[in-house]
Amino acid sequence: MHLIIAEKHIAAKRIAAILASEKIKQVRVSGVDTYEYESEEGKKVFIGLSGHIVKLDFPKAYNNWQKVEANELIGAEIITASTQVKIVSALKKLGKEATKVTIATDYDREGELIGAEALDIIKQVNPDVVFDRVHYSAITPKAIDAAFSNPTNVDFNLADAGHSRQVIDLVWGASLTRYISLAAGRLGKMFLSVGRVQSPTLALIVEREKEREAFIPRPYWELSAMLKSKNGEEFKVEHRTKRFWEKAEVDAAMDKISIGDNATVTELTTSEKTDKPPTPFNTTEFISAASSIGFTAANAMRIAETLYTNGFISYPRTDNTVYPDTIDLRAQIEIFKTGAFKQYALKLLEKKELVPTKGKKETTDHPPIFPASLAKKSEMNEQEWKLYEMVVRRFFATFADPAIWETIRSKYDIKGEEFKANGARLVEPGWRWYYHYNAPEDRLLPKMEEADVHSVLKIDVEAKETQPPGRYGQGRLIKIMEELGLGTKATRHDIISKLYSRAYVHGNPLQPTKTAVAVVDTLEKFAPTISKPDMTSKLEADMDRIAEGDIPEDEVLNESREMLELVFDELGKNKDDISESLRAGLREDKIIGVCSECGSNLMVMRSKRGGRFIGCEGYPDCTFSLPLPKMGQVIVTDKLCEDHGLYHIRIINAGKRPWNLGCPECNFIEWQKTQEEEKQKQKEQSSDKEKPKTLNDISGIGKVTAEKLADAGICSVDELCEADALELAKATSIPVKKIKTWQSDIV
């Protein structure tokens, strides 16, 4: 039996369907779906994993944070534990029967490690099994047939590189997280996460925020005029001095000109600008482009993975920006001669020669991201189609001609003051016809010639201030991480997601919380190695050398442990200062504002029962408080409520969209209002119900019973309602319970 192992279930199913000459049979093994068919060589069975089916961990003895010092984890034994018991069981069962195993996981560092992990499990029950490896960059018939026709060997060096990353990240992350969390007194779900890649990335965000806070705006003025051409067209011109830094200077220029003055064209230059086509998508460029149309990095990669496993695009984790010679690019475009992109494909196919653009990075593992097959919009959800369309259009654009712009630069004299205006018009769309994202708009000027005279309709002076540097968007941050060697194409988006889940950042562009600032400040002051990219990029380079077979894995692991020992030496010298620094910084992240009743700080607090609320530091003299939701992490933003002087808050729950609660006092007032409205509504509904008018209207009171009640002195509904049920029961022999039921019906 030939066992083929894919990285995911859907990939196994698709590959089996592609390779089978007949219908595949679904068979359940140890609770896991497998796919099989008979071939000339015998039975072939396909199984999909779930990514990593084992994980690295420390022995249970190291789990107690209070008893085991953080630095003891540096040299601790590392064990392997199963995370997918059913899949491991199925692998062992199938592995015993297998005469051959083919690893068909994704071809990158992680994929090679995932395949090697599965192979190790099979070798436990079948040590002599024969195995090989197949590489593919798209799950399409052509790519899969080619891969299985040319099997190769498992690259254990590449797998070791992936394994070394797991070990290093576990040891660094677990030991430093434990140390910093204990120092800050933040345990349980509120622990402070520290990581080899995560912390330098967070430091970049905090550093940018500090630049913004330290920024001192400088006032300036802009002078512009609205002109009217001979043909009656209106257009705007700006003073040659882009920014007036002195108010007196702009006032002096204003004093010279007035509405109704002539504006004479003194210079007119027309030229042509060539706008080159974009380069092919690699992972970083793809995430950046997806970010510009509203996708988070993690969501873009999640959807890209779905498109890949369904055979619609090529492998989305790649550094390559040069199409390899092995791809028949014309044939790839011909796929789209029908369907939604027909007109674009046919236009490109008119070219005698298809010459794509090339980026600066060229690798041999995977090609740039390109559309692998034709898809219909009905086959996808809205987000999937949006990204698929972007990949198709980018692919087409790399073969297209440059876009040509006609540019016009003009200058005008108004009473000795020089003004200018620039215009641009797209005359040849070129690649922008295929790839329309973020296209600049035409800036049209009226037709004119030098010495033409226009009239001044309006003069405008606008007071402005210089702006601080912008926060990083996710796409921009990933580019910087790539430049600094932080993480890999496969991990950078996960690092950013982790910063959100740890409540270190919020919003997009990314804004750090006070907690993030406290952690980074402490690390930079007492253990700067953790917050700088140098150490991380050095280890990344060493892992690349493992993959290339230049150095053994153990050498890099030992080096990383030595580096971490030095970090703990730094931490140990400043233990008390670290604790004080963290606790002071974390306290700031709990301040919501100032109490309107006593002027003390309003803080996020916890009750004796563990519930949380916003309370006043002036307690017990001041008892002002506001409620908070029971679940989720509270993020204090920098947006201030003008009515109550309190910072808006955001609630973060794992796996859910952030809840922008806004001003907690406004929210509470609105909640109270809603509650009152609901009570009033219920009261009105209750009063609207028709009450019984006679005894016979009450359910269960017949004519005989009504006569008994009348004999007992009850002759109306109101009298029955007000009667003593016990006394009435004695007088009429009617059970007390029944009388009370009638009375409640009346009410």
Confidence at residue 691, expressed as pLDDT on a 0 to 100 scale: 66
What's 226's domain CATH number?
Answer: 2.70.20.10
Do both 386 and 457 map to the same domain? no
Crossing angle between the packed helical segments 297-309 and 9-19, to the nearest 10 degrees? 30
In angstroms, how far apart are the furthest CA atoms of the chain? 116
Domain termination site, one of 589, 606, 626: 589
Mean pLDDT of all residues in 387-403:
97
| Three-state SS annotation for 220-257 | EEEEEEEEECCCCCEEEEEECCCCECCHHHHHHHHHHC
Same domain, 366 and 228: no
> What is the C-alpha to C-alpha distance for residues 583 and 368, in angstroms, rounded to an integer?
47
pLDDT tens digits for range 269-291: 999 999 999 999 999 999 999 99
726, 679 Cβ separation under 8 angstroms: no
Looking at this protein, which amino acid is placed at residue 252?
A: A
**Which tokens in the block code for residue 232?**
């009656």
For the cut 80, the answer to whether the pLDDT of residue 608 exceeds it is no
Number of separate domains in the chain: 6
DSSP 8-state secondary structure symbol assigned to residue 66: T
The answer to whether 217 and 467 have CB atoms below 8 angstroms apart is yes
Give the structural domain span for 670: 591-684
- Nearest Cα residue to 315 out of 139, 161, 66, 74: 139
Query: Do the Cβ atoms of 481 and 198 come closer than 8 Å?
Result: no
For 416-464, what is each residue's pLDDT tens digit? 999 999 999 999 999 999 999 988 888 999 999 999 999 999 999 999 9
For residues 260 and 394, state if they share a domain.
no
* DSSP string computed for 411-458: EEEETTEEEEEEEEEEEE-GGGGT--TTPPPPB------TT-EEEEEE
pLDDT surpasses 80 at 689: no
Q: Judge residue 479's burial from the number of C-beta atoms within 10 Å of its C-beta, 0-12 exposed, 13-18 middle, 19 or more buried.
A: middle
Q: Give the residue-averaged pLDDT of 547-567.
A: 93
> Residue 690's pLDDT band (boundaries 50, 70, 90)?
low
φ, ψ at 459 (rounded to 5°): -125, 135
In the structure, what pLDDT confidence band is assigned to residue 550 with cuts at 50, 70 and 90?
Answer: very high
Contact yes or no for 721/739 (Cβ under 8 A): no
255 & 317 share domain? no
Q: What is the CATH number of the domain that holds 704?
A: 1.10.150
Q: Which amino acid is at 391?
A: V
Mention every residue, 6+ apart, whose C-beta is less than 8 A from residue 625.
613, 614, 615, 616
- Residue 67: inside a domain: no
Q: Within a domain: residue 59?
A: no
CA atoms lying within 13 Å on the CB side of residue 526: 25
Buried-exposed string 37-52: b where 16+ CB fall within 10 A, e elsewhere = beeeeeebbbbbbeeb
Higher pLDDT, 631 or 562: 562
Who's near 718: CB < 8 A, 6+ residues apart?
A: none
Q: Can you tell me whether residue 86 is helix, strand or coil?
A: helix
Q: Which residues of 539-548 are buried (b: 16+ CB within 10 A; e: fewer)?
A: bbebbeebbe
Sheet holding 100-104, edge to edge: 25-29, 32-39, 42-48, 2-6, 100-104, 130-133
Domain at 32, CATH number: 3.40.50.140
Rounded Cα distance, 509 and 472, in Å: 5
Q: Domain for residue 70, yes or no?
A: no
In a domain, 540, yes or no: yes
Could you read off the pLDDT of 179-226 as tens digits, one per residue? Answer: 999 998 887 777 899 999 999 999 999 999 999 999 999 999 999 999
Residue 142 and residue 29 share a domain: yes
Cα–Cα distance between 22 and 323 in angstroms, integer?
34
Residue 484 burial (C-beta neighbours within 10 Å; 0-12, 13-18, 19+) = middle
For residue 552 the two structure tokens come to: 């053994």
pLDDT at 736: 84
DSSP letter for each residue of 41-58: TEEEEEEE-BS-SEEEE-
Mean pLDDT of all residues in 494-523:
91
Examine residue 239 and state whether it is found in any structural domain, yes or no.
yes
CA distance 622 to 178: 37
Instruction: Give catalytic residue positions.
Output: 315
Are 579 and 597 found together in one domain? Answer: no
Judgement on whether residues 298 and 331 belong to the same structural domain of the protein: yes
Answer yes or no: is 60 within a domain: no
Running DSSP on this structure, what letter comes out for residue 615?
Answer: E
- For residues 230 and 171, membership in a common domain is answered with no
Tell me the C-alpha to C-alpha distance, in Å, between residue 621 and each of 197, 600, 613, 717: 47, 11, 17, 53
Domain end point (choices 411, 446, 465): 465
Least trusted range by pLDDT, from 28-42, 561-575, 579-593: 579-593
CA proximity to 83, closest of 64, 57, 120: 57
pLDDT tens by residue, 70-113: 999 999 999 999 999 999 999 999 999 999 999 999 999 999 99
Distance between CA atoms of 669 and 647, rounded to whole angstroms?
A: 16
Residues 319 and 388 in one domain: yes
Secondary structure letter of residue 371 according to DSSP: B
Q: Please list the residues that pair with 205 across neighbouring strands.
A: none
Neighbours of 59 (CB within 10 A): 10
Distances (CA, A) of 120 to 38, 101, 309: 26, 12, 25
Q: Are strands 79-82 and 42-48 parallel, antiparallel or unpaired?
A: unpaired
What does DSSP assign to residue 692?
P
319: domain CATH number is 1.10.290.10
Residues near 639 by beta carbon (within 8 Å), at least 6 away in sequence: 647, 648
Could you tell me if 616 and 595 are in contact, meaning their C-beta atoms sit under 8 angstroms apart? Answer: yes
Looking at residue 688, its pLDDT comes to: 55
CA gap 528, 534 in Å, rounded? 10
Nearest to 35 by CA among 56, 6, 61: 6
Interval 332-381: pLDDT, tens? 999 999 999 999 999 999 999 999 999 998 888 899 999 999 999 999 99
Tell whether 580 and 671 lie within a shared domain. no
Where do the H-state alpha helices sit in 293-354? 297-309, 329-334, 342-349
Domain match, 558 and 506 both: yes
Transcribe 701-724 into DSSP letters.
Answer: --HHHHHHHHHTT--SHHHHHHS-
pLDDT tens-digit map of 457-480:
999 999 999 999 999 999 999 999
Instruction: Examine the domain organization and report whether 183 and 273 are in the same domain.
Output: no
Task: Indicate the residue among 411, 441, 465 that finishes a domain.
Answer: 465
* Residue 98 maps to a domain: yes
Model-level pTM? Answer: 0.83
Distance CA 235, CA 452 (A): 14
Please report which confidence band the pLDDT of residue 656 belongs to, taking 50, 70 and 90 as the band edges.
confident
pLDDT, tens digit (0-9, with 9 covering 90-100), for 405-420: 999 999 999 999 999 9
In this structure, how many other beta carbons lie within 10 angstroms of the beta carbon of residue 290? 25
Q: What is the pLDDT of residues 118-151, one digit of tens each?
A: 999 999 999 999 999 999 999 999 999 999 999 9
Distances in Å between the Cα of 683 and the Cα atoms of 678, 686, 747 are 9, 5, 13
103 in any annotated domain = yes
